[in-house]
Every structure is written in C-alpha cells, then in structure tokens.
C-alpha cells in the first residue's frame, strides 16, 4: 500500500505494477501483478522477474504509439519537476519542513495528495482494463492465427491431393498421347497405302475418261451424220410430197344458199387427184384455194364423206349477209328497284331460209352511246319479224 501524508493507508491495491517506459522500444511494459490473496503453502508467492515484461500494444499500432509517447513526455515532465524540488530542498535547507505547518496547509496538501492518488488509481484501473483488452485481443489473434494455420494445413493437404491427382492425370495423358501417336502413325501408313491405290484408280479413270471423250466425239460426228442423212431424207420426202401435192386441186366449189351468221357465208369444195397411198384428209388440210380473189391456205374444216370424198369448208365475209337493228324502243324499267331498262329492236335484212337465231344473236347494235356484239335475247314474232332485246343498266330504275 501507498501511505498518505496523514499516515493513513489508501486501502487500494493495484492489480498491476505501474508500467515502465522503454525509450529504445517505444513501448510501455508492466511487471507481473502481486497477488491479493495471502501467501501460504497452497498459494506461494510468485517470483517476479524484473525482466519479464509484456507489451501492452503491438508495435505497428500508430495511434497507440502516439498515446504512449504523450504519456512518456508527461512522466518526464513530472520527473523534472521532482528533481527541481529536490535541488531546492538541498539548497535552502530543511528548516521549513521541520516546522509544523498549520492545519489549513496540511489539509490543502492532504486534499491535493488524495486527488493525485485518485488520479493515479484511475490511471491504474485504465491500465488494467487496457491490459485485459490487449490480452483478449492477443487471445483472439492467437485463435485466429491457429485457425489460419489449420486452414493453411488443410489447403496444403488439398493441394497435395490435387498434385497427386494431377500426376495421375499426367501419366494417363502420357499413356493416351502415346496411344494417339501410335494410332497417328498407323493412320499415316494406311493413308499412304490409300493414296497409292487412289493414284492407280485415278490413272485408270483418266484413261477411261479419255476413251469416253473419244467415244463422245465419235458419237457427235455420227449424230451429225445421222442428222444430215435425216435432213436429206426429209428434204427428199418433202420434195416428193410437194410434187404430189402440186397435183391436188379443188372441184365443185360452191357457196351455201343461206348465210351462216352475221356478214358470213360458208363455201365448200371437194379435194381431187389424191393418190391412194396419200391421206385425203391430210391432203385437204394442206391444199390452198382461191375464193372471190382471196387465197386461203387451209380450210377451217375437212369432212370425210367416204365414197363422196373429203369436203373442205371455208367461212368468208359476205356483204349480202349483213343484218342490222333499227328503231330501238324503250320499254321502261324491268321492275321496281331493278336498276335495269328493257330495250327492243327489230332485225332487218334477214334473208329467207337463214337461221334467224344465229343471225340475230351475232348482229351488233349501237344505241345510247353503247356498243353491243349482239342482243341479250332474240324472239321471232312471226309476221312482225325477229326482235332483239337488251337489259341495260339504268340508274333511273333504282
């Protein structure tokens, strides 16, 4: 215990000795704490080694190092003040210390010392807490260090297993590569054999190709010769047929008595002088004729009448067969809302014996600015003649 100026004990036992500052290590260290329990056989007093000092903070903690330096400076100042007080005491003598100070001064000094002792006690408690914190941090660091060592050992074991597996895989790859190399060499050998075989086949193909080219050229020449021969034969045949056809002629040419349709009359004739070996129908189709000063190469129809021969038919324009409508009568709308109007007109210049239906249906008409190739319907009203009717569109009938 530390005595007070009034001779009383403070009653406080620090858990650790005050730290000492090491100027060379820039660290605060502390001595082993004294035991508060009584010393006995079961609890011997531990021997304190003055050199056994544990660092409070790690050397690489810059903030803690600055705080330690500040504390070292404060202690140095207090030491300096104590040294000055000692010098003053030696130089001036100790008579004033032997004097009995008054009670007020003693009380003031006692209060100051108590205040200082309380400050020192707080500092010691803070040191004790800091030491415990540092111990906990060190224990955590050591546990973390051991865990890192354990993980590192585990990783090393894993790496060793990977190396072993890799070595096995490398051996397997070497074995596979050796097999591949042997297979490649075998393939190269087989390829060389196949190349030689292909060269032999290619030489045979080349010879066969040259032979085929020669045969094709010969075939082309033969084909040209055959075509020339066919053309000559066709020419000779055509000349023969032309000589035969030149002898064909038409006889008994005549026009039908009645008109065939509007402005049209039909003419007929029989082909003559056709030899027995020649087709008379073909002779009819190939023999030209001149009718009314117009040369016509082919008839529109060849009719085989057996013993009567083959008759050719021609259809030519004939002005005497021209009919016409005149006097278009408006018969009004065909019905309410029908949109259609009925127009009627009589057919004129119809010859006796002509087919009135064919003549009426093919006769064109023009009225109301419209052109029609024929009426929509035709009717024969006896003595009133033949009439054509038209159903034309008219907006007025809507």
Q: Which residues pair with 268 in a beta bridge?
A: 254, 313
Threshold 0.85, pTM exceeds? no
pLDDT tens, 71-97?
777 777 777 777 777 776 666 544 444
Asked whether the predicted pLDDT for residue 40 surpasses 60, the reply is no
Specify whether the CB–CB gap between 347 and 356 falls below 8 A: yes
pLDDT tens, 97-113?
444 557 888 888 888 88
Lowest mean pLDDT among 29-38, 162-171, 229-238, 353-362: 29-38
- Give the Cα separation of 343 and 397 in Å (integer): 13
Token representation of residue 7:
């001779």
pLDDT tens, 141-169?
999 999 999 999 999 999 999 999 999 99
pLDDT tens, 16-38?
444 444 444 434 444 444 444 44
Rounded to a whole number of angstroms, the distance between the first and last alpha carbons of the chain is: 137
Average pLDDT (254-276) is: 92
Asked whether the predicted pLDDT for residue 294 surpasses 50, the reply is yes
CA-nearest of 367, 368, 386 to 377 is 386
Token representation of residue 291:
């009718």
CA-nearest of 253, 261, 257 to 321 is 261
Specify whether the CB–CB gap between 311 and 270 falls below 8 A: yes
Residue 250: count of CB within 10 angstroms of its CB = 20
Q: Which residues pair with 341 in a beta bridge?
A: 333, 392
């Amino acid at each position: 215990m530390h005595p007070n100026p009034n001779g009383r004990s403070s009653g406080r036992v620090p858990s650790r000795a005050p730290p000492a500052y090491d100027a060379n290590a820039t660290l605060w260290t502390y001595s082993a704490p004294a035991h508060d329990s009584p010393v006995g056989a079961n609890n011997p007093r531990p021997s304190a080694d003055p050199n056994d000092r544990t660092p409070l903070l790690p050397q690489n903690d810059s903030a803690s190092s600055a705080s330690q330096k500040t504390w070292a400076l404060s202690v140095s100042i207090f030491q300096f003040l104590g040294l000055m007080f000692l010098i003053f005491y030696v130089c001036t003598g100790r008579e004033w210390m032997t004097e009995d100070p008054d009670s007020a001064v003693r009380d003031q000094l006692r209060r100051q010392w108590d205040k200082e002792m309380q400050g020192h006690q707080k500092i010691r408690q803070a040191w004790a807490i800091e030491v415990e914190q540092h111990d906990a941090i060190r224990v955590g660091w050591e546990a973390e260090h051991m865990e890192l060592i354990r993980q590192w050992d585990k990783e090393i074991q894993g790496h060793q297993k990977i190396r072993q597996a890799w070595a096995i895989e490398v051996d397997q790859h070497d074995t596979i590569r050796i097999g591949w190399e042997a297979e490649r060499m075998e393939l190269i050998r087989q390829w060389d054999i196949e190349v030689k075989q292909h060269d032999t086949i290619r030489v045979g193909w080349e010879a066969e190709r040259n032979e085929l080219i020669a045969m094709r050229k010969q075939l082309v020449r033969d084909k040209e010769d055959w075509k020339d021969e066919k053309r000559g034969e066709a020419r000779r045949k055509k000349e023969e047929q032309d000589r035969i056809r030149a002898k064909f002629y038409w006889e008994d040419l005549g026009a039908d008595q009645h008109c065939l349709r509007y402005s049209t009359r039909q003419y007929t004739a029989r082909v003559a002088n056709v030899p027995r070996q020649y087709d008379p129908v073909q002779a009819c189709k190939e023999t030209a004729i001149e009718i009314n000063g117009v040369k016509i190469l082919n008839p529109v129809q060849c009719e085989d009448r057996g013993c009567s021969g083959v008759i050719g038919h021609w259809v030519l324009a004939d002005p005497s067969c021209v009919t016409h409508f005149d006097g278009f009568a408006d018969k009004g709308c065909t019905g309410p809302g029908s949109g259609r109007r009925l127009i009627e007109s009589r057919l004129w210049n119809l010859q006796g014996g002509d087919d009135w239906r064919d003549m009426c249906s093919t006769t064109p008409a023009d009225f109301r600015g419209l052109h029609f190739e024929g009426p929509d319907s035709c009717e024969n009203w006896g003595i009133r003649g033949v009439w054509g009717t038209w159903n034309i569109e008219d907006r007025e009938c809507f």
